[in-house]
Structure 1
Amino acid sequence: MYSLRKRLLSLVLVLSICFCGSFVFNANQVATAATGLIGDLNGDGAIDALDYSLMKQVLLGSITDLPVQDDLYAADLDGDGNITALDLSLSKQYLLGLITKFPKNPPENVTTVIMPLGDSITDGIFVPGAYRIKLWENITNAGYKVDFVGSLSNGPAELGDKDHEGHSGWRIDQIDANINTWMTTYKPKIVLLHIGTNDISQNYDLNNAPNRLSSLIDKICAKLPSGGKLYVAKVIPLSYADVRNYNNQVAQVVQNKASQGKPVYLVDMYSAISLSDLSDGVHCNRTGCDKMADVWFNAIKNDLGK
């Protein structure tokens, strides 16, 4: 026998379905990465009457956007590509214990291949593994599979994948001379580029640094697979040089490439790091590395698992 609570819930659900009819809602803004629980419409990690209420409101047209990032992923319970009264009925059955899973299954969690690319700030001098330690944790703790790739390898035991292309002391032109080989060998879906610090430190033909960066970006984008992306960071602060002019040039180069339709995106790493986050005025301490990791993760999180 149903408890009183279940009887009341059943009555509310049935009446709600009657009002909803067969109105079809097509989610207009589908996120780039499906995450969370199917049926969890408010993103609180549980499937309950609050989620049912949200679905009812969607079907009645009283709301057009759900709290979760991917409306269709969360609310399309039967996997037909629409949110309909059939999905509401499935929600009801789940809440009443008549079913224990929905017809739609979560997508397979694809391993995302990422190349951390740059100089010693990517490698890690005072913190071997650098930002890659916390970035690995962020990605795997979020439930995604990741493969860091590159010809170099270092980091502590807590870093589950130590591969990278962070070459200590290297400038833009040195990365550029090798990038085609690396891209062909490792085929990353995402490239995280932080480069230019050594150009500034060595005062190496800075007037042409934007042109060198432009060439490097073109080569990376030409080798990216379908759906691949390049994230280019503004370099972190230096204790002995003002990097803001270079960073403004980085932003301009990235904007120009993006306007050409290339899959390149700017990441403001400069604003996230202060001089107190540096061990020696150049390289991050662990706090700074963790801050860098969080910035990278926030930039790429919607690309993971695809």
Structure 2
Amino acid sequence: MVSIHSFAVACGALLLSVVSGQDTPVRIMALGDSITGSPGCWRALLWRNLQTAGITNTKFVGSLPGQGCGFEYDGANEGHGGILATGIVEREELPGWLASSTPDVVMMHLGTNDVWSNESPTELLDAFGTMVDWMRESNDGMKILVAQIIPMNPPNCVECGDRVVAFNEAIPAWAASKNSTGSPITVVDCWTGFDTATDTGDGVHPNNAGNEKLANCWYEPLRSAIQG
């Protein structure tokens, strides 16, 4: 027989769980290229930072598994090496990923390969717009976090740095034009304070220091999306 005290404790714990939202995990898709997925250890650091802060009602989702980052973490993602945003749209890949993973939040660090391929900001943001439409078709309450991407300075693309600046400068106006109350778009500044000389190993992909900076740039926007 269950005592009145035990029953009261159990009911209190259940009520606290419901009130805090800890009973239903928020499903989060990290969408991007090799910066996100190969191995993308900033995601591991971000997950650990959330856990340390007591934000445990999360489930990272995607068709790709987490890779080794020195500790166990929830690492599913859609970070596909070499992928272009324009290519995702041309091949209509995102609807299938969304249907399989059913995210509540999508966080995008995407466009590096498009910039490298000299896609214009207009072409790239047109692709982003199509992807946002697909996200909202999947979930009309989708919370969408879009990065102003980290700088790049590869030795074989002297113009890439300026192209990143032009792309990042165009993102806020685009986001405002696509924003909605039910499915907000948040612009996440991952560019400011990131130095390709000290935070990458090759002018493009983050090293350990860069991973720390990427985890930090995502933390507050993602925390707000989870708890908001």
Short-chain TM bin = 0.7 to 0.9
Which runs of structure 2 are paired with 1:1-306 in the superposition (5 Å)? 105-108=15-18, 109=22, 110-124=24-38, 128-143=39-54, 144-156=56-68, 157-176=70-89, 177-204=92-119, 206-224=121-139, 226=141, 228-239=142-153, 240=158, 241=160, 242=162, 243-258=164-179, 262-275=183-196, 276-304=198-226
Structure-1 separation of matches of 2:170 and 2:183: 17
Distance change >3 Å, CA 161–CA 261, structure 1 → 2: closer
Aligned-pair Cα RMSD in Å? 2.3
- TM-score if structure 2 supplies the norm length? 0.80
For this pair of structures, how many residues does the alignment match? Answer: 201
Residue-by-residue CA offset, 1:35-60 (whole Å, 9 max, x unaligned): xxxxxxxxxxxxxxxxxxxxxxxxxx
The answer to whether the Cα contact below 8 Å between 2:63 and 2:78 also exists between their aligned partners in 1 is yes
The answer to whether the Cα contact below 8 Å between 2:28 and 2:107 also exists between their aligned partners in 1 is yes
Larger Rg: 1
The answer to whether the Cα contact below 8 Å between 2:34 and 2:40 also exists between their aligned partners in 1 is no
Distance change >3 Å, CA 139–CA 279, structure 1 → 2: same
- Structure 1 residue ranges without an equivalent (≥5): 1-102
The answer to whether the Cα contact below 8 Å between 1:135 and 1:296 also exists between their aligned partners in 2 is yes
Structure-2 separation of matches of 1:107 and 1:302: 19
Residue identity (%): 31
Higher share in helix = 2
What's the CA shift for 1:259? Answer: 5.7
The answer to whether the Cα contact below 8 Å between 1:189 and 1:225 also exists between their aligned partners in 2 is no
Aligned partner letter, 2:223: K
Structure-1 separation of matches of 2:190 and 2:40: 17
- Structure 2 residue ranges without an equivalent (≥5): 1-11
Distance change >3 Å, CA 259–CA 287, structure 1 → 2: same
The answer to whether the Cα contact below 8 Å between 2:85 and 2:127 also exists between their aligned partners in 1 is yes
What's the CA shift for 1:162? Answer: 2.0
SS in structure 2 of the partner of residue 256 of structure 1:
helix
- TM-score if structure 1 supplies the norm length? 0.60
What's the CA shift for 1:287? Answer: 1.2
Structure-1 separation of matches of 2:226 and 2:121: 35
